[in-house]
A and B are shown apart, each in its own frame.
Chain A
Amino acid sequence: MPVLRWIRRNLVVLAGLLTLAYMILPNVVVMVFSFNRPGGRFNYAWQEFSLDAWKDPCGVADLCGSLSLSLRIALWATVGATALGTMIAFALVRYRFRARGAVNSLIFLPMAMPEVVMAASLLTLFLNMGAELGFWTVLIAHIMFCLSFVVTAVKARVMSMDPKLEEAARDLYAGPVQTFVRVTLPIAAPGIAAGALLAFALSFDDFIITNFNAGSTVTFPMFVWGSAQRGTPVQINVIGTAMFVIAVTVVLAGQIVANRRKSNAGK
């Protein structure tokens, strides 16, 4: 049986592709159902093809408001977490100092904690301080949990950097600021960019921590959560599909640019 033999030889590839299909399936469903005209309040069963939702993505009350709120929070959280995290990463890789172990565990712990634990304890703090829940508490929380991921991403890049390049810059009479801006930062940039991208994605998509600390403020994930109880508008699928397409485009474009550069450098 040549077919069986072929299957046996390519078992790993087949299994991998099946997993890939499993991962993509919901995205396909989201995409297909963005063209649906649902019968009732919920967009769970296929009724009829329609472009209505695509023509009017903001047609549902509060949806685009929550989307822009999420974007704003994710943007500021990215800026905050990337700045703080990059500084920590440089300190950890480039300097030997006391309390290094303690700092390392403090960075690691937020990643080793179920989100609901962090969310609940942060809410306890805010309640005790009498802080008003809303934009600021969510932003504080997002910077907190994105920080560790940024540190990890930037650390990996800085660790693989050759300190000799900076020494060379200094030998060529570059000042500390000049060395940092012209040499260190460009080399560390891919790590910082990866950290920033991760922070943005984590913040934009976070539900559990936001759910606890947002009060009556509604971010996009919270809007989706609420709609799962009240009725899911098709526009949610439109936004989801648009996000997927934009993300794939951006990442692929980045890959192509990186490949170009690599092949140019090779010449």
Chain B
Amino acid sequence: MSVTGAPPAPSAKAEVRKPSTRRRLVPYWLLLPGILWLLVFFALPMVYQASTSVQTGSLEKGFEVTWHFRTYWDALPDYYPQFIRSLLYAGTATLLCLLLGYPLAYLIAFKAGRWRNLVLVLVVAPFFTSFLIRTLAWKTILADGGAVVDVLNTLHVLDVTAWLGWTENNRVLATPMAVVCGLTYNFLPFMILPLYTSLERIDGRLHEAAGDLYATPATTFRKVTLPLSMPGVVSGTLLTFIPASGDYVNAELLGSTDTKMVGSVIQSQFLRVLDYPTAAALSFILMAVVLLVVTVYIRRSGTEDLV
């Protein structure tokens, strides 16, 4: 790193300058091990991946950098459905997380009173039961002939969702709805915690002031609470959308072959098909798309100083 960035002390003043030079080097010594770790095991792998994505060859003959961008052009038409699906599922799950998470975050911040800590624990605690086990539990909950499916069938909800293409054949498991349900569930805490943090910072007197000025609760929410909680909304959205877009666990466990997300493709290309260039190209495209979406979103929401 830029340890050498500090100018060397002139020798004539060496005795006077020595302690201050040493002090100036302190931050670099503190940074060195961690930053080296990230450079070698985060940044360098990205470079390797970039080079792998423009290689051609096979596992038997070996791979060679040929600067063939064809891998990208071949991968896109083959796998664009999985790409679109990933963005669509992740986007829907993020929106649902926001709709479900906001009332709960609001409840914890303003209404829970002495129950606040307990509710917070209940939000975080599911984290500690392995998320794969919890995702498998959804298989039981959404099972054909289970209570949830029966209720939805009786209320004719499944007819509507089937018409929308979310479910099939009066079942929920192995449909897009199951995958989105799993994604929403798994990433809810990532939405609730930032929302709660930003709601908690709001001064309760602002609500009273709005009420004194004859604002209805709805107006108070729209004009005071929501704008002030925007940093939480933005970071919650990012913390939900980014991991959800690359996830393949929910799609694999709760979905079918028709609900595969791009993560599944990358995983199987890398670990089963062993077509490294295609896998690398796909994950590069995913990274680019996510970074693009995130950048545009942060610009739009006007909270650039957030990160």
* Interface residue ranges, A against B (CB under 8 Å): 12-13, 15-20, 22-27, 29-30, 33, 44-45, 84-85, 87-88, 90-91, 94-95, 97-99, 103, 106-118, 120-125, 127-128, 140-141, 143-144, 147, 151, 201, 204-205, 207-208, 211-212, 220-221, 224-225, 228, 232, 236-237, 239-241, 243-244, 246-248, 251-252, 255
The 6 closest A-B pairs by CB, nearest first: A114-B246, A16-B107, A247-B128, A84-B34, A95-B27, A15-B103
Nearest-Cβ distance from residue B176 to partner chain A, whole angstroms: 18
Q: How far is the CA of A25 from the CA of B249 in the complex (A)?
A: 19
Asked if residues A116 and B248 are in contact (CB atoms below 8 Å), the reply is: yes
Asked if residues A95 and B270 are in contact (CB atoms below 8 Å), the reply is: no
Q: How far is the CA of A106 from the CA of B105 in the complex (A)?
A: 30
The SS class assigned to the B binding surface is helix
> Which residues of chain A have C-beta atoms less than 8 A from B39's C-beta?
106
Q: How far is the CA of A116 from the CA of B286 in the complex (A)?
A: 9
> Which residues of chain B have C-beta atoms less than 8 A from A85's C-beta?
34
Asked if residues A98 and B107 are in contact (CB atoms below 8 Å), the reply is: no
Question: Is B143's CB within 8 Å of the partner chain A?
Answer: yes
Asked if residues B132 and A225 are in contact (CB atoms below 8 Å), the reply is: yes
* Interface residue ranges, B against A (CB under 8 Å): 1-2, 5, 24, 26-28, 30-31, 33-35, 37-39, 41-46, 48-49, 52, 100-101, 103-108, 111, 117-119, 121-141, 143, 185, 188-189, 238, 242-243, 245-249, 253, 263, 266-267, 270-271, 276, 279-280, 283-284, 286-287, 290-291, 294, 307
Q: How far is the CA of A44 from the CA of B7 in the complex (A)?
A: 66
* 6 A-B residue pairings within 8 Å (CB atoms): A22-B188, A87-B30, A94-B27, A113-B242, A124-B276, A211-B271
Q: How far is the CA of A103 from the CA of B33 in the complex (A)?
A: 13
Asked if residues B45 and A125 are in contact (CB atoms below 8 Å), the reply is: yes
Of A112, A205, A232, which one neighbours B242 at CB under 8 angstroms?
A112
Q: Given A26-B185, A114-B286, A207-B249, do A84 and B48 touch, yes or no (CB 8 Å)?
A: no
Least CB separation from B138: chain A residue: A26
Least CB separation from B108: chain A residue: A16
Residue of B107, B128, B276, B280 most packed against chain A (CB within 10 A): B128
> Which residues of chain B have C-beta atoms less than 8 A from A44's C-beta?
139-140, 143
Asked if residues B103 and A19 are in contact (CB atoms below 8 Å), the reply is: yes
Least CB separation from B249: chain A residue: A207
> Which residues of chain B have C-beta atoms less than 8 A from A246's C-beta?
128
Least CB separation from B261: chain A residue: A116
Of A15, A97, A106, A201, which one neighbours B38 at CB under 8 angstroms?
A106
Q: How far is the CA of A185 from the CA of B294 in the complex (A)?
A: 36
Least CB separation from A144: chain B residue: B41
